[in-house]
Amino acid sequence: MAKQELSIGALGKLTGTKVETIRFYEKIGILPAPARTAGNYRSYGHDHVRRLTFVRRVRDLGFPLETVRAMLDLADQPDRPCGEVDALVVEQLNEVERKIADLERLREELDRLAHQCRRGGRVAECRIIEALSPHHEDGRCCP
Amino acid sequence: MAKQELSIGALGKLTGTKVETIRFYEKIGILPAPARTAGNYRSYGHDHVRRLTFVRRVRDLGFPLETVRAMLDLADQPDRPCGEVDALVVEQLNEVERKIADLERLREELDRLAHQCRRGGRVAECRIIEALSPHHEDGRCCP
DNA sequence: TCTTGACCCTGTAGTAACTCCAGGGTCCAT
DNA sequence: ATGGACCCTGGAGTTACTACAGGGTCAAGA
């Protein structure tokens, strides 16, 4: 493998991705097919590391591959007219902000639980479900 | 259906969940089996609304059902000794905080894109991938 | 040089978490 | 009393991986 080039296993370790998942992303077109070595091994460069890291994180945040694909398209054709892109961006922005709000309520409650634990004793009065309950509603659940 | 009680369809609408998903959660024990009406229809109360809302939001945030189950257990047996709970809570807390950080970087970039669009023109200089790239590393990708 | 263990290849099958559909029963407003 | 909306169960299909099976590549060491 040439310098600066990574085997599929090395790429997997760097990005916390299983080798099979990388091949799967290639098959469905999320990752471009890399160059091959003389022995037919896949050979990845730094762009692949960046792209795969992005994909994995967005997936980890609960967005479907379809959304990942849309975001990658934004990055791949940055000179598209804005009209067609704006709606997508605003939509994703709303979802991202909603997720941040939910996560912060979850964090608050986990934090409270952790402190309650430190002061010895039992978990008593766990309000973790209330943390994400309907009365904190922002409208999306109850149309 | 008695007053205050909901049909499966009504519960679905209230929580933004497909009817089939609700039955699936019952089958795998995430939601307790509700009472049945004379005609064998499922009949849900307010606790089901709260619990299902919680499940859906935690899933939407990218946590697996296994984690949801662990969090529900926290809520279901709030007088467990803390030792066995603390590790779980701290672990979830770390993951929640990591996700918040990632989402905030994503929001920043989407925000930048949206503003760039408002000022007319093209998407030029899309840095959405960089927003979640390896050099913002917190360690979890590169062990 | 030969071998052996770690790593790679393709292709197929299995899993998690839904999602959809077929075939049929219930409810109620007209 | 009847047609349309909604419910039931059971099973197949989808998405996004994940795990083999069967075989090739490669570098280190005997």
pLDDT of residue A140: 42
Query: Residue B57 and residue A102: Cβ atoms within 8 Å?
Result: yes
Closest CA to B82 of A46, A124, A127, A135: A124
For residue B109, the chain A residue with the least C-alpha distance is: A93
Question: Which residues from B are below 8 Å from A92, CB to CB?
Answer: 106, 110
Per domain, the residue ranges of chain A are 80-138
User: Residue B85 pLDDT > 80, yes or no?
Assistant: no
Closest CA to A17 of A45, A57, A76: A57
* Neighbour tally for B107: CB within 10 Å: 18
Q: What ipTM, to 2 d.p.?
A: 0.81
What is the gyration radius of the CA atoms in chain A, in angstroms? 21
Q: Is the CB of B10 under 7 A from strand D?
A: yes
Task: Count CA within 13 A, CB hemisphere, residue A118.
Answer: 7
User: Under CATH, what is the fold of the domain B1-64?
Assistant: Multidrug-efflux Transporter Regulator; Chain: A; Domain 2 (1.10.1660)
B122 touches chain A (CB under 8 A): yes
* Cβ contacts from A onto B, under 8 A: 191
Tell me the pLDDT tens digit for each residue of B56-83: 999 998 999 999 998 898 888 877 766 6
User: Residue A103 pLDDT > 50, yes or no?
Assistant: yes
Tell me the pLDDT tens digit for each residue of A11-61: 999 999 999 999 999 999 999 999 999 999 999 999 999 999 999 999 999
Q: How far apart are CA A91 and CA A86, in angstroms?
A: 8
Q: Where are the alpha helices (DSSP H) in A5-133?
A: 8-15, 19-27, 46-60, 65-76, 83-118, 128-131
pLDDT of residue B82: 65
pLDDT of residue A123: 61
At B99, which amino acid appears?
Answer: K
Q: How far apart are CA B48 and CA B66, in angstroms?
A: 19
Q: Which residue has better confidence, A82 or B72?
A: B72
Q: Is the CB of B20 under 7 A from strand D?
A: yes
Q: How far apart are CA B115 and CA A93, in angstroms?
A: 12
At A109, which amino acid appears?
Answer: E
Q: What is the mean pLDDT of residues B73-99?
A: 81
User: Residue A138 pLDDT > 50, yes or no?
Assistant: no
Q: At what angle do helices B8-15 and B19-27 cross, to 10 degrees?
A: 100
Contact map slice: A 5-64 vs B, CB within 8 A:
13-16, 49-51, 53-54, 56-62
